[in-house]
C-alpha cells in the first residue's frame, strides 16, 4: 500500500462557510464537486501559496458537529482498510463505503477517537 495524498479535511454541514473562512486565510479552491457517491458528498479541494492542501466535505448525513479528520489517499483501498481494522479502527458507516466509478472512500475511527478518511482514486 502506498499513500498518495495526506492532508487535513473538515467534514461539515456547511462546506461553503468553511471554504469561505479558509479563503480569507489564503487558501484557494482548486475544484468543487457535488453529488459524490451514495452519500451525495460535496467535496471542495483547497490549496494555499505554500502548497498546503485542505479538503472540505459536506455529506448528505445528519452531522451533529464538524469533524476534523485526515484525508489519506492510497493506491490499495482494501489493504489500507485491513491495516486500519487490524489496529482497531472502525468504519464510521459500519459496513458501507462511499463508492463512485472513479473512487472509493470511508471514514475510519481509531480506538482513541481520531479519524482517517480513507480514499482510493480508481484509474
- For 60-114, what is each residue's pLDDT tens digit? 877 889 999 999 999 999 999 999 999 999 998 878 787 778 889 999 999 999 9
- Comparing CA positions, the residue from 83, 71, 120, 70 lying closest to residue 98 is 120
Place of cell 453529488: 35
Judged against a pLDDT cut of 80, whether residue 6 lies above it is answered with yes
* Beta-carbon count within 10 A of 1 CB: 13
Question: What is the reported pTM?
Answer: 0.84
Judged against a pLDDT cut of 90, whether residue 20 lies above it is answered with yes
List of residues 6+ apart from 99 with CB closer than 8 A = 37, 38, 105
Decide: helix, strand or coil at residue 84.
Answer: helix
Amino acid at each position: 500500500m502506498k499513500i498518495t495524498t495526506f492532508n487535513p479535511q473538515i467534514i461539515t454541514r456547511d462546506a461553503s462557510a468553511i471554504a469561505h473562512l479558509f479563503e480569507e486565510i489564503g487558501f484557494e479552491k482548486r475544484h468543487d464537486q457535488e453529488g459524490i457517491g451514495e452519500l451525495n458528498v460535496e467535496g471542495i479541494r483547497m490549496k494555499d501559496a505554500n502548497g498546503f492542501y485542505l479538503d472540505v466535505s459536506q455529506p448528505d448525513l445528519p452531522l451533529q458537529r464538524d469533524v476534523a479528520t485526515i484525508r489519506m489517499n492510497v493506491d490499495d483501498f482494501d489493504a489500507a482498510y485491513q491495516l486500519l481494522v487490524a489496529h482497531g479502527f472502525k468504519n464510521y458507516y459500519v459496513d458501507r463505503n462511499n463508492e463512485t466509478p472513479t473512487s472509493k472512500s470511508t471514514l475510519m475511527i481509531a480506538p482513541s477517537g481520531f479519524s482517517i478518511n480513507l480514499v482510493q482514486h480508481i484509474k
